Amino acid sequence: MTRDEEKVVGGTIVVTTFAALITYGLLKFVPGSEKLSWSAYFFVVFGVAFAFVILGGGLWCELQMDNVGVTMRGMMPLAVASAWGGLWPAMAEWGAIGPAYIGGEQQVVWWAAELTRCIGLFFIIVGGYIWMYRRRFD
């Protein structure tokens, strides 16, 4: 690895750690977040941190001399989808109806249902890339 590549990797690690800490700090101010389990906190922070890793990978590819066609802007729908996926356990806990039993199926409100989350993920990825494709020709 060259010196410039080491700087990009190091910068990505620093920015990802900083983003994870900011996300954790902001979650402390979200109403209802004090009821979240540690695993839900972990998934939210990991989802946002992974989104920054995806963006850092896009930036790294964009700065390479051979320019393989992957850009930071092109990775944006995947990064948003990663952050959305990190919210899933928190949404399941916020939208829970009644107590949860180990091994049982948890009843949740409509916006926390698995189908709604998957449809949202589909629209984030497909809609994001369609939007980017249409903007390319404007």
The count of other CB atoms within 10 Å of the CB of residue 93 is 19
Residue spans of the domains in the chain: they are 3-136
What is the C-alpha separation between 70 and 132, in angstroms, rounded? 13
Please report, as a single letter, which amino acid is at residue 47: G
pTM score, whole prediction? 0.77
Average pLDDT in the chain: 84
What is the C-alpha separation between 35 and 47, in angstroms, rounded? 19
Confidence at residue 79, expressed as pLDDT on a 0 to 100 scale: 94
Q: How far is CA 136 from CA 73, 78, 118, 132, in A?
A: 11, 18, 27, 6
Tens-digit pLDDT profile for residues 88-102? 998 888 888 887 777
What is the C-alpha separation between 133 and 71, in angstroms, rounded? 13
Tens-digit pLDDT profile for residues 62-121? 887 786 778 888 899 999 999 999 999 988 888 888 877 777 778 899 999 999 999 999
| Axis-axis angle for helices 38-63, 3-27 (nearest 10) | 150
